[in-house]
Structure 1
């Protein structure tokens, strides 16, 4: 049987790391970041409350130029992350098995995965800037937005610290969805007309991501007793709770924004 280690080595040969991906491993520093992620999340939530109150009596800023640049940079970053990580994990899935890709964390020794995992964890802090733009421009800030941003920030640092194997798939899915999402945000900020189905498609991908995430949690719970399956009870518990709540919130957002308006229009016509 092909081992996850052998497949990981094969993926390394197929996807040679660039020089910038061979930088010094930040894992020791990011493991300590796990404790720091909590105060960062709390400061973020405080900013949400204070920022909205501060802007209540003030006119919203335009910030079109900075928002275009912000969204475009995150688009490029997400595309690069998706291309590099999907190539590695796709090889593992095709050459080994789903179980090995979810249970064994040997892939984290790859310079490519190590580099993009570090950036992925740090990017969750950078992405909090999305909320700053919403508040400063006085756009509606919905619960699912700040809940998702704050909890993902803490959860990704937890998964990185404990070297959770299944976290690799959470990362690759997130890179892929964000590549499309931030591309849409760039078009929207630039006031470029995009297909009407695009935002619905993005929300559908987010819901699918939550379904796959919950399924992954179930699978690693089933396989957790097998020798070498690297996971923890804490990880299974928190990933299940978060992905279920994400699914409910994104499904409700989809219903409120894409189903209900059609029902109202149909009712008016009748």
Structure 2
């Protein structure tokens, strides 16, 4: 434990925050109001029902330029998050080992990690706007889309509130995949047609992310009582495992429907 604490201090000194990353009270606000994520998710689902009903008898909107700016903004945010979090987690593995990067959560209090953790979970609210573009453009809205958006939102707030040690890797992997995904969406909004293989790679990366997320949650729970690790509670592990396994099934099913079964090739959705 002493080694882990020393490394945490060393990492704190090594990764000095930029001025915009040096926040003080926002984390406490998120802790106090994390349960608002349930209300936001419920409002999101109501919006979907009302929005689709509203658009049923109306023509679709041409939102190519706003969609490009939207996707580009999220791509830039995700790329910045990827650079900061992957470099940190990579250095943490080098300094303290993979095991403690999974089960030792004190590093989440380091200012750089705290900043990107907070804005990561807040971005899950912003990303709900993806669905608005789908509805207003009258594109097919599949179950995995709105299920994933709503549950990730609540789970991110829940994980931050409980300082789930494995959450550092969950965030880092998500940043990496979204950096690629929103860059792809930006190109699509410009009517650039990337190779079909790229969309397959993105979905494959999402499935790999879910598999890795489930494994990391499991390891965090298995190692919870070992020296230097923190106690991952059964309820946090349960919800993490339940969600990640549901994501694995849903994204794998989507991959099969979109890229393997020939009768469904024309039913795939792109933003």
- TM-score interval, normalised by the smaller of the two chains: over 0.9
Aligned to 2:247: 246
Report the Cα distance in structure 1 between the residues aligned to 2:7 and 2:197, rounded to whole angstroms.
38
Aligned to 2:156: 156
Residue pair 1:7, 1:91 contacting (<8 A) in 2 also: no
Report the equivalent of 2:269: none
Matched residue, 1:28: 28
Q: Deviations over 1:129-161 (max 9, x none)?
A: 000000000000000000000000000000111
Q: Over residues 44-71 of structure 1, what are the superposed CA-to-partner deviations in whole Å (9 max), with x where a residue is unaligned?
A: 0011111111111110101111100000
C-alpha displacement of 1:95? 1.8
**Shift of residue 15 of structure 1?**
2.9
Residue of structure 2 in register with 1:83 after alignment: 83
Q: Are 1:56 and 2:63 an aligned pair?
A: no
Is the deviation greater in 48-57 or in 146-155? Answer: 48-57
**For this pair of structures, how many residues does the alignment match?**
264
Residue in 1 that maps onto 2:71 = 71
Aligned 8 A contact 1:25 1:114 in 2: no
Deviation at 1:82, TM superposition (A): 0.7
User: Aligned residue for 2:260?
Assistant: 259
Q: Which residue of 2 aligns with 1:234?
A: 235
Shift of 1:98: 1.8
Distance (Å, rounded) in 2 between the aligned partners of 1:120 and 1:148: 15
- The TM-score, its normalising length taken from structure 2, stands at 0.93
- CA deviations on 1:5-62 (whole Å, 9 max, x unpaired) are 2333333343321111112231110012221000100000011111111111110101
Partner of 1:8: 8
Cα distance in 1 for residues equivalent to 2:264 and 2:39:
43
Q: Aligned-pair distance for 1:94?
A: 1.8
- SS state of the match for residue 199, structure 2? helix
Query: 1:164, 1:222 → 2: CA distance?
Result: 14
Given that residues 4 and 101 in structure 1 are in contact (C-alpha distance below 8 angstroms), is that contact kept between their aligned partners in structure 2? no
What is the distance in 1 between the residues matched to 2:250 and 2:48? 19
Unaligned runs of 5+ in 2: 266-271
Distance 2:133 2:4 in 1: 42
Tell me the CA shift for residue 262 of structure 1: 8.7
In the aligned structure 2, how far is the partner of 1:106 from the partner of 1:118?
A: 15
Task: Please tell me whether residue 123 in structure 1 is matched to residue 123 in structure 2.
Answer: yes
State the TM-score, normalizing by the size of structure 1.
0.93
CA pair 25-86 structure 1, distance change in 2 beyond 3 A: farther
Contact conserved, 2:22 with 2:115, CA < 8 A, in 1? yes
Q: Is 2:38 the partner of 1:38? A: yes
- Name the residue aligned to 2:94: 94
Structure 1 residues not aligned, in runs of 5+ = 265-270
**8 Å contact 2:68–2:186 — kept in the other structure?**
yes
Q: Deviations over 1:53-107 (max 9, x none)?
A: 1111110101111100000000000000010011111111122122211111121
Q: Does 1:18 align with 2:18?
A: yes
Q: Deviations over 1:179-230 (max 9, x none)?
A: 0000000000110121221100000000000100111122122112224423
- Aligned-partner SS, 1:41: helix
